[in-house]
Amino acid sequence: MTEENFIPEPYKNTLESGSCTYASPSNIALIKYWGKKENQIPENPSISFTLNNCKTITKLSFSKKQDTTHFSFDVFLANEKKNDFKPKIETFFKRILVYLPFLKDYHFNIETSNTFPHSSGIASSASGMSALALCLMHIEKALSGSMSESEFIQKASFLARLGSGSAARSIEGDLVVWGKHDAIKGSSNLYGVKYPNAIHANFKNYQDTILLVDKGEKQVSSTVGHNLMHGHPFAPERFKQATENLSQMMAILKSGDLDKFIALVESEALTLHAMMMTSMPYFILMKPNTLQIINKIWSYRKLSGSKICFTLDAGANVHVLYPENEANKVLKFIKNELAKYCQNENYICDTIGMGAKMV
């Protein structure tokens, strides 16, 4: 598959107006994407758990317009007009116009809402861009007349990637790989694929409780963050390591070895932050409470023999990962010992989920 394969044949049908709604989940990477080339091509492959509860729900209404020289759209978040979202969507539309040539033919109303608080510090770009990509694919499917489910999903992920890299991993569940890895059949730099190999029962309904340590605006935007990897002294080694770590993860997913899983996932999280600390300019995205939580998790694990572990995204929040059979015990621990390190004692319980769907 190349990018050109995603340029459609002339459409068979016409469509005056309509609307559709998709709910698309957030995801949490186990092997991290950090560093990209031109056109949203990742420097290394990544794999993530698709989440169940943290979602963006987007309703896209469209009506044909006369003037086809420019994009025309309005964006609403929780019923409030959001003009500050427009530049990002305009950039997205420009990037994908060649793949969706109908974009200038319609006026779009994009009404979006998140199931998690907007100010929670949880990145909504993955769920937001994937939900929008799915809505746009819904229109393309109607214009094309026919399209298989697999073509639909693949192109939705391809488009979502052009909005935000990690969004490529938010179309399907429950484990998704994005980026070419020689040992993973079908993996591609252009779109995410459902992890095709065996997954041990230990990972079934894996739990993710997101501890909201810092709800503020992101200190470093992902664009700035990824750019920090250009010319970074450790970048080539990091990209190699991520590929090797994904090979290790494949063996772990098969064997169900949770001790190895813990070591690899925590090491990936800390490596991501180490890359930011050793960039120029440098950043520390963890907060004192992030470290308090990590230390508490480590001592709880040592004392109880629990298989709890943590991962981080590009911020101070902590994702606490644990097997389903420990859910009751770990939730008690979180409530009693970790909630106090969260802003307003806020945390969100989630599990691995099945992916996006039409609503």
Interface with ligand DP6, residue 125, by CB under 6 A: yes
| Smallest distance, ligand DP6 to C-beta of residue 14, A | 34
In the bound state with ligand DP6, the residue whose beta carbon lies nearer, of 276 and 330, is: 276
Q: By CB under 6 A, is residue 165 in contact with ligand DP6?
A: yes
Considering the complex, what minimum distance in angstroms separates the CB of residue 325 from ligand DP6? Answer: 27
**Given the complex with ligand DP6, which of 141 and 238 has the nearer CB atom?**
238
Would you count residue 164 as binding ligand DP6 (CB under 6 A)? yes
- Closer CB to ligand DP6, residue 28 or residue 262? 28
Token pair 């007009």 is at which residue?
81
Give the C-alpha separation, 252 to 202, whole Å: 10
Residue 24 interacts with ligand DP6 (CB under 6 A)?
no
Question: Smaller CB distance to ligand DP6: residue 21 or 166?
Answer: 166
By CB under 6 A, which span of 53-61, 163-171, 182-190, 318-326 interacts with ligand DP6? 163-171
- Pick 34 or 158: Cβ nearer ligand DP6: 34
Q: What minimum distance in Å lies between the beta carbon of 123 and ligand DP6?
A: 6
Q: Interface mask (CB under 6 A) for ligand DP6, residues 52-91, using x and -?
A: ----------------------------------------
- Residue 55 to residues 45, 65, 137, 287, 353, Cα–Cα distance (Å): 24, 31, 18, 25, 11
Q: How far is the CB of 304 from ligand DP6 (least distance, A)?
A: 29
Binding of residue 232 to ligand DP6 (CB under 6 A):
no
Q: Does 166 bind ligand DP6 (CB under 6 A)?
A: yes
What are the CA-CA distances from residue 84 to residues 70, 81, 218 (Å)? Answer: 19, 9, 15
Out of 6, 22, 33, 49, the only residue in the binding site for ligand DP6 (CB under 6 A) is: 33
HSE, CB side, 13 Å, CA atoms: give it for residue 60: 25
